[in-house]
């Protein structure tokens, strides 16, 4: 695997989630012959990519000792103003590609700025990340509900939804984007100075401070990273539905993203974790969902299974510690 060094502890953790995934795939293949069909696999990958991209950003936040609950609300907000901008440009008679470009830029900027806001309150304001992002979770949701009067913004741009459902070499666009982010973030976390600092700050903030690391900057940037991924997901998911439901988009995203990170072996207390682990964690969640659907378990019960898997993953983590 392209990941960094062979620290015994880390590879054991990664190994764990990989084994779990292997078993799941095996069981699913036995339960349903349909499971291994390429179309089904691609479907699973597409489904996980939206929250999976956010989970990649969440990995940085959690390793640095933080948490972000506001991702779903921020996605709705960023998506809403992106689509609003695009529709306004369309009404003004601008070409469609200009509208798409503007929507992407606006959503990415909104996501990143939301991250800056969270990060500033955590670092400069010295407020616990849980509290800050619980607050902004409510704020961003309420702002988008206000903008859309709790309804939907439908895109008037045909190019927008075309991109969203496009595939390159049979693989859906969101999956490519998630793969690209995973590769880049893996490099960033495992091989760069910034990645080292993120782990340092999450391991022991005091030692990091005494080692002349700009702790506030490092932590702030993790929120910007996740804000950016939220912007990306906002674009991709609104392309998919050709609309932004201000009351529905992004609901429970924080749960899926945090779950993927934890199942992937990142320590909840911070300090250690890998991007590849998170990818595996996200796929595990997707496979479980898919399997439950195929064997006909009520969708209402799927949340129970997901919850049990998260709790189980944390239990295993604690046994190792």
Partner 1 sequence: MPEAVVRTEKIRKDFSAVTVLKDISIELQAGETLGLIGENGAGKSTLMKILSGIYQPTAGALFIDGKSTSFRNPSDAKAAGVSIVPQEFNLCPDLSVSENVYLGDEIKGPGGLLDRAAMRDRTRELLSELSAAIDPDARIVELSAAQKQLVEICKALVHEARVLILDEPTTVLTKIEIDSLFRVMRDLRSRGIALVYISHKLWEIAEICDRVAVLRDGELVHVAPVATLSLEEMARRMVGRELSDVFPKLAEPSAEAPVLFEVEGLSSPNAFENISFSIRAGEILGLAGLMGAGRTEVAEAVMGVRRATGRIAVAGKELRSHRPMDAVAAGIGYLSEDRQGSGVMVPFTIAENATLVSLPRYSRGLLGIVDRKGEAASAERWKGLFSIKATSTDQCLEELSGGNQQKVSLAKSLDPEPKVLIVDEPTRGVDVGAKRDIYRLIADLAAKGIAIIFISSELEEVIGMCRRVLVMREGRAAGFLEGAAVNEEEIMYLATGIREGV
213 lies in the site for partner 1, by CB under 8 A: yes
Find the binder of partner 1 among 192, 248, 252, 293 (CB under 8 A): 192
Nearer to partner 1, 214 or 304 (CB): 214
Positive/negative CA dihedral, 238, 242, 246, 248: negative
Kindly tell me the burial class for residue 33, based on how many C-beta atoms sit within 10 Å of its own C-beta (0-12, 13-18, 19 or more): exposed
191 lies in the site for partner 1, by CB under 8 A: yes
Shortest Å, Cβ 195 to partner 1:
8
Find the binder of partner 1 among 154, 204, 247, 302 (CB under 8 A): 204
Looking at 26-34, 199-207, 292-300, 306-314, which segment touches partner 1 (CB under 8 A)? 199-207
Q: How many CB atoms lie within 10 A of CB 187?
A: 15
Looking at 12-20, 51-59, 121-129, 208-216, which segment touches partner 1 (CB under 8 A)? 208-216
Nearer to partner 1, 160 or 185 (CB): 185
Find the binder of partner 1 among 203, 251, 297, 305 (CB under 8 A): 203
Structure tokens at 256: 């899926």
Nearer to partner 1, 92 or 212 (CB): 212
Say how far apart CA 126 and CA 41 lie, in whole Å.
44
Residue 182, classed as helix, strand or coil, is helix
Residue 265, classed as helix, strand or coil, is coil
Shortest Å, Cβ 205 to partner 1:
10
User: Which residue shows structure tokens 């990519």?
Assistant: 49
Nearer to partner 1, 175 or 218 (CB): 218
Residue 20, classed as helix, strand or coil, is helix
Identify residues 9-38 at the interface with partner 1 (CB under 8 A).
9
Find the binder of partner 1 among 14, 46, 141, 199 (CB under 8 A): 199
Shortest Å, Cβ 204 to partner 1:
6
The 224-263 contact track toward partner 1, x by CB under 8 A, reads: ----------------------------------------
Positive/negative CA dihedral, 80, 85, 91, 93: negative
Cβ distance 185 to 282 under 8 Å?
no
Find the binder of partner 1 among 42, 147, 187, 268 (CB under 8 A): 187
Say how far apart CA 234 and CA 74 lie, in whole Å.
8
The β-bridge partners of 245 are: 152
Say how far apart CA 207 and CA 83 lie, in whole Å.
45
Say how far apart CA 282 and CA 262 lie, in whole Å.
10
Site residues, partner 1 (CB under 8 A) = 5, 7, 9, 187-188, 191-194, 196-197, 199-200, 203-204, 206-214, 271-272
């Amino acid at each position: 695997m392209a990941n960094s060094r062979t620290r015994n502890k880390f590879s054991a953790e990664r190994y764990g989630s990989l084994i779990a995934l292997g078993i799941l795939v095996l069981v699913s293949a036995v339960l349903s012959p349909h499971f291994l069909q390429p179309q089904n696999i691609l479907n699973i990958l597409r489904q996980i990519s939206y929250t999976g991209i956010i989970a990649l950003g969440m990995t940085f936040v959690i390793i640095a000792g933080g948490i972000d609950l506001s991702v779903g609300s921020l996605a709705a907000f960023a998506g809403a103003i992106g689509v609003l901008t695009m529709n306004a440009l369309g009404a003004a008679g601008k070409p469609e590609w200009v509208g798409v470009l503007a929507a992407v830029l606006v959503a990415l900027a909104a996501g990143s700025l939301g991250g800056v806001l969270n990060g500033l309150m955590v670092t400069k304001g010295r407020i616990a990340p849980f509290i800050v992002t619980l607050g902004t979770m409510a704020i961003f949701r309420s702002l988008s509900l206000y903008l859309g009067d709790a309804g939907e913004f439908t895109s008037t741009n045909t190019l927008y939804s075309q991109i969203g459902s496009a595939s390159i070499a049979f693989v859906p666009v969101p999956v490519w984007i998630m793969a690209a982010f995973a590769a880049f973030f893996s490099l960033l976390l495992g091989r760069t100075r910034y990645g080292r600092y993120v782990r340092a700050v999450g391991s022991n903030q005091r030692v990091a401070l005494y080692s002349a690391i700009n702790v506030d900057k490092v932590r702030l940037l993790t929120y910007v990273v996740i804000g950016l991924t939220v912007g990306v997901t906002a674009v991709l998911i609104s392309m998919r539905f050709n609309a932004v439901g201000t009351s529905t988009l992004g609901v429970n995203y924080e749960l899926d993203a945090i779950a993927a990170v934890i199942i992937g072996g990142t320590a909840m207390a911070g300090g250690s974790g890998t991007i590849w682990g998170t990818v595996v964690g996200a796929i595990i969640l997707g496979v479980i969902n898919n399997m439950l659907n195929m064997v006909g378990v009520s969708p209402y019960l799927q949340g129970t299974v997901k919850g049990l898997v998260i709790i189980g993953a944390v239990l295993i983590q604690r046994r190792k510690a």
